[in-house]
Amino acid sequence: MTFENILLEKKNAIAYVTVNRPKVLNALNMATMEELRTAFTDIKNDSAIRVAILTGSGEKAFIAGADIGELAKHDAVSGKEYTHRGQSVLDLIENLGKPVIACINGFALGGGCEIAMACTMRLASENAKLGQPEVKLGIIPGYGGTQRLPRLVGKGIAMQLVLSGEMITAQEAYRIGLVNEVTAAAELIPRAEAIAQKIIANSPLAVQYAMEAVNKGLELTLSDGLYLEAVLFSVACSSEDKKEGTAAFLEKRPPQFKGK
């Protein structure tokens, strides 16, 4: 599979997706978004892949935002289509059924910050900068920033970031709960790989159902979320993985999960 704007590599049950436009700080144009759609659809359908790691090429940026030259050409009609297409790619990432770890290795602004928020978890290098600066361009976040950011950090902090358009450091992003961890740049991918290996050791079905319970449950009332959890728990109980996991525990041996 050949791409012009991203790189896709697979090894040890991990897919590595790298936005590869370093000359423009990995800015997102629609061609790049469509390549991301293709890559993550492939990852979703590849049973050998258990976790994906998403990062940016070079040492300066994860994804520095949208391609402003492309963005400037949109009117109301094309802008709506542009936003819906981008949102659908992020929905794919968020609901992939497999964890996606964002490794934020520099600027994550605008659409870059939004893509990171669609990932299952976020790790940031010490030099990372995050923000939603769209208001400085006379627009608002369009790839889910107004929705995912308050769900992650709360309404007040989200309002401050969206309305001011200010960038924050990796350390501040960690303090407010926008990123899970901050590491040295050289340790960013290895730390993501370490987390990935812990996930890979678990039941693929249990991981998938747990992610679904959290993602969908956030859209429901507590009582409806608990009902969803019970349904998914019961489905997990009927799986071969559940039988293998409980048997392995009782027999004091490592489980051999098959995702069935």
pLDDT tens figures, 79-111: 888 889 989 999 999 999 999 999 999 999 999
**Tell me, what's the pLDDT at 252?**
93
Evaluate if residue 127 carries a pLDDT over 90: yes
When pLDDT is averaged across residues 189-214 and rounded to a whole number, the result is 97
Structure tokens at 122: 């976020």
Q: What is the pTM of this model?
A: 0.94
* Residue 70: predicted pLDDT: 80
Residue type for position 245: G
Per the model's pLDDT, the better-predicted residue between 81 and 203 turns out to be 203
pLDDT at 73: 81
The arithmetic mean of pLDDT across residues 58-87, rounded, is: 86
Q: Cα–Cα distance between 99 and 107 in angstroms, integer?
A: 22
How far, in Å, CA of 150 to CA of 134, rounded?
16
> Residue 65 — very low, low, confident or very high, per pLDDT cuts 50/70/90?
confident
Question: Alpha carbon of 10 to those of 18, 21, 82, 187, 190: distances in Å?
Answer: 12, 20, 30, 20, 15
**Greater confidence, 258 or 107?**
107
pLDDT digits (tens, 9 = 90+) for 136-163: 999 999 999 999 999 999 999 999 999 9
pLDDT of residue 66: 79
Task: Give residue 71's pLDDT.
Answer: 77
pLDDT at residue 259, as a whole number: 86
| In the chain, % of residues over pLDDT 90 | 89
Q: If you average pLDDT over every residue of the chain, what do you get?
A: 95
How far, in Å, CA of 238 to CA of 205, rounded?
Answer: 11
Q: What are phi and psi of 2, to 5 degrees?
A: -110, 135
Q: What pLDDT is stored for residue 57 in this prediction?
A: 96
HSE (side-chain half, CA atoms, 13 Å) at 95: 11
For position 74, what pLDDT does the model report? 80
* pLDDT score of 203: 95
Q: Quote the tokens at residue 240.
A: 């071969």
**pLDDT in the model for residue 151:** 96
Cβ atoms of residues 92 and 44 within 8 Å: yes
- State the angle between helix axes of 222-237 and 204-217 in degrees (0 to 180), rounded to the nearest 10: 170
Instruction: Say what the pLDDT of residue 136 is.
Output: 95
For the segment 5-23, the average pLDDT, to the nearest whole number, is: 96
Q: Is 160 buried (19+), middle (13-18) or exposed (0-12) by CB count in 10 A?
A: middle
Q: Helix, strand, or coil here: 122?
A: strand
Looking at the predicted structure, is the pLDDT value of residue 67 above 90? no
Give residue 82's pLDDT: 84
Domains of the chain: 6-200 (3.90.226.10), 204-250 (1.10.12)
Which positions are annotated as active-site residues? 114, 134
- With a CB cutoff of 8 Å and minimum separation 6, the contacts of 35 are 3, 4, 5, 6
